[in-house]
Amino acid sequence: MNNVVVCMSGGGTAVINASCAGVIHAAQQDVTIDQVYVGINGILGLINNQLYRATELSKPDIRALKQTPSCAFGTCRYKLKPYDEDPSDYQRIAETFTQYGIACFIYIGGNDSQDTAYKVQQACATMNLNIQCIGVPKTIDNDLVGTHVCPGYGSAAKYIAISTLEASIDVKSMYRSSTKVFILEVMGRHAGWLAVASALARQPNQPAPHIILVPEKTVDTQRLLNQVQQCVNTDGYCVIVASEGIKNPDGTFWSSTKETDAFGHKQLGGVAPKLAKLVSQELQLKCHWAVSDYLQRSARHIASAFDVELAYRLGLEAVTAFLRGDNAVMLSVEPIQSNNGFNYRITTQSLATVANQEKIVPDAYLSSCGMDINPSLMDYLKPLIQGEAYPDYQNGLPNYFYYHETSYETELS
């Protein structure tokens, strides 16, 4: 049997299902592939022997899947132990591969997930299992090495740019008699790619966001307060976009609290409310703040058309890579010279070189003051948010794909 299994891993994005839809569609079309399965809840589906057969998934369902945010068949945060430390998970995965006749394992995910794909590939080699392992990049954080951009980032960037623009117009309309400072907190613990995307909101006659804070640059409280006051003096108001992971000059998280969560992880206390408290107390300026959290990564309603098509195309290309015999690679986006706007081709990178790396925003893209971008970054950002890929609507709400969780249980019965 020449079957394919695809899994989604890590945090959702607005377009990860589009990659999954691409894999399913391409596998359905190829006569040499017998079945295409989706792992339920990422790698956990392979460990727990829970797969969904998508071979006959209808065209309307694939279309709906392509326009649905997050991971329609579930995802997971699960770190595989090294094979020589504990081979049990790998043995169960191998059993699932064998039972379902899998020849190709496609894993859609970010940094940790590419590590998982790599570990599974290495274990298969050790166990003499002939499985091709192919990684498909995905993350709103845009922090994967070896690819020009990650699917998911363009849509989150578009959401953040539009949200910043709309809130900035709001603040501008009433700063004379009300709120003078607005703060938007976005994701990004170690890389500021999401925060810098807010710079796209700037327009002629629309200077906001005035300040952009990223984990790559530490925050000096007094310099920040001076900058806020200066913006208010100049424009009458100040809009700040801050990464959740901004740091103090000593390298500690700016919003770190003493509390740990149920799993012992140090909780971040919320950058936006802490910044708002600082500004209102020290500068006596009225503040409002928002935290976009999951909204920014699941906002399929305003996904970037570029991003949706990139994610879908990567799904198609994963099957192509399988058919030409690729193994132990992650697909990668490589920009190509073009007189006709931004263009790219899909290449591959060795999983060994991308796993567990992290691409922060290059220093050349950040202003020397540490609170803004360098304008050269705009050339990178602009192509990524082009086009609107609206989902279909029914009764005022997006018509998303809902998978019936019980259907996989009888898959092989």
Active site residues: 141
Pick the stretch among 23-31, 88-96, 204-212, 326-334 that binds a copy of itself (CB under 8 A): 204-212
Q: Please choose, from the candidates 236, 259, 123, 218, the residue with its C-alpha nearest in 3D space to the C-alpha of residue 171.
A: 236
Among positions 19, 35, 67, 75, the unique one binding a copy of itself when judged by CB under 8 A: 75
Contact between 95 and a copy of itself per CB under 8 A: no
Neighbours of 368 (CB within 10 A): 9
User: How far apart are the C-alpha atoms of 366 and 311, rounded to whole Å?
Assistant: 27
Among positions 68, 114, 116, 139, the unique one binding a copy of itself when judged by CB under 8 A: 68
Which tokens sit at 411?
């898959």
Nearest CB to a copy of itself, comparing residues 173 and 252: 173
Contact between 60 and a copy of itself per CB under 8 A: no
User: Cβ 176 to a copy of itself, closest distance in Å?
Assistant: 6
Q: Please choose, from the candidates 318, 407, 355, 328, the residue with its C-alpha nearest in 3D space to the C-alpha of residue 131.
A: 328
User: How far apart are the C-alpha atoms of 313 and 330, rounded to whole Å?
Assistant: 14
Contact 145, 357 (CB under 8 A): yes
Among positions 67, 298, 332, 349, the unique one binding a copy of itself when judged by CB under 8 A: 298
Nearest CB to a copy of itself, comparing residues 358 and 388: 388
Nearest CB to a copy of itself, comparing residues 14 and 321: 14
Which tokens sit at 43?
């790698």
Contact 292, 235 (CB under 8 A): no
The binding track of 206-245 with respect to a copy of itself, each residue x by CB under 8 A or -, is x---------------------------------------
User: Cβ 154 to a copy of itself, closest distance in Å?
Assistant: 9
Nearest CB to a copy of itself, comparing residues 139 and 332: 139
Contact 8, 108 (CB under 8 A): yes
The binding track of 7-26 with respect to a copy of itself, each residue x by CB under 8 A or -, is ----xx--------------
User: Cβ 128 to a copy of itself, closest distance in Å?
Assistant: 30
Q: What is the DSSP letter of 331?
A: E
Nearest CB to a copy of itself, comparing residues 130 and 203: 203
What are φ and ψ of residue 58, in 5° steps? -70, 160
Pick the stretch among 31-39, 160-168, 221-229, 358-366 that binds a copy of itself (CB under 8 A): 160-168
User: Cβ 241 to a copy of itself, closest distance in Å?
Assistant: 12
Neighbours of 108 (CB within 10 A): 36
Contact between 166 and a copy of itself per CB under 8 A: yes
Question: Do you know the residue count of the chain?
Answer: 413
Contact between 167 and a copy of itself per CB under 8 A: yes
User: How far apart are the C-alpha atoms of 65 and 69, rounded to whole Å?
Assistant: 8
User: Cβ 173 to a copy of itself, closest distance in Å?
Assistant: 4
Residue 348, classified by CB atoms within 10 Å of its CB into exposed (0-12), middle (13-18) or buried (19+), is middle
Residue 88, classified by CB atoms within 10 Å of its CB into exposed (0-12), middle (13-18) or buried (19+), is exposed
Q: Three-state SS for 20?
A: helix
Nearest CB to a copy of itself, comparing residues 200 and 316: 200
Contact between 382 and a copy of itself per CB under 8 A: yes
- Chain centroid to CA 155: 9
Q: Which of residues 238-297 bind a copy of itself (CB under 8 A)?
A: 259, 261-263, 267, 269-270, 272-273, 277, 280-281, 284-295, 297
Pick the stretch among 169-177, 343-351, 356-364, 367-375 that binds a copy of itself (CB under 8 A): 169-177
Q: Are strands 238-243 and 287-291 parallel, antiparallel or unpaired?
A: unpaired
Among positions 1, 85, 128, 176, the unique one binding a copy of itself when judged by CB under 8 A: 176
Judged by CB under 8 A, the number of residues near a copy of itself is 83
User: How far apart are the C-alpha atoms of 182 and 234, rounded to whole Å?
Assistant: 16
